[in-house]
Amino acid sequence: MMLIPCPWCGERAQVEFAYGGDATVKRPADPASASDREWHDYVFVRDNPKGPLDELWYHAAGCRRYFRVRRDTVTHAILASTPLPEIT
């Protein structure tokens, strides 16, 4: 069983969380002028790296907050767990 350290609740079982995807994907800088190809890539295309990856996780059965987890995709070792910046 994989344990994920929530920045607010501490270490909990992975079943309490929902995977939010790759945290490094960037939305097109100018959405109004982005091409169909840019939107397609933003929505559907993901790398599948071997090793450390920054991911979004949602603590669905806990504090109900998103946060960033750096996880090694080979070993599943959690390398870091940090809150997201506040959006104002």
Contacts with Zn ion, residue ranges (CB under 5 A): 6, 8-9, 59, 62-63
Q: Which is nearer to Zn ion, 53 or 57 (CB)?
A: 57
Are 59 and 65 contacting, i.e. CB atoms less than 8 angstroms apart? yes
Q: Tokens 């070792």 — which residue?
A: 77
Least distance (Å) from Zn ion to the CB of residue 52? 22
Q: Rounded distance, CA 52 to CA 11, Å?
A: 19
Q: Which is nearer to Zn ion, 42 or 66 (CB)?
A: 66
3 alpha carbon, distance to own chain's centre = 15
Least distance (Å) from Zn ion to the CB of residue 21? 18
